[in-house]
Amino acid sequence: MQQTIHHPRTFHVVTKDGYSYNCYFAKHPVIAAKKAFAQMCKENEADPLFCQKLIHFTIIESTEFSKRQRYNYIGMLIEHHRPVPITVRRKGQSTHYSLVQRI
């Protein structure tokens, strides 16, 4: 039986303002969108309300021989009153987060 090798695809992120973020490697565009949104929040830590409003951005596939397909996303950081328990599958440990990102 022959295994197929999945090479990561490359994506560039462009915001509504025309600002371009780094190149992200991911298997699917939604994974690249989550990475990009986390990077946007880290870069704008000085403005605490930046990630708590709707952020519109576009992911453009830039893999060689791709059709340069565009994917539009809206990201927002949601603060919960009670921390949300999240269990890590591999380690079986549970942690609690009060801020959860939605893409």
pLDDT class for 4, splitting at 50, 70, 90? low
* 0.95 surpassed by pTM: no
Q: Round to whole Å and give the CA distance between 36 and 95.
A: 23
Q: What percent of the chain has pLDDT over 70?
A: 82
CA distances from 11 to 27, 41, 91, 96 (A): 10, 18, 30, 31
**Residue 48: its pLDDT value, please?**
75
Q: Other CB atoms closer than 10 Å to residue 50's CB: what's the count?
A: 14
Reported as a single tens digit per residue, the pLDDT across 48-89 is 788 888 888 899 998 888 898 999 998 888 877 787 777 766
CA distances from 98 to 20, 59, 61, 90 (A): 29, 27, 32, 22
Q: Where are the domains of the chain?
A: 9-74
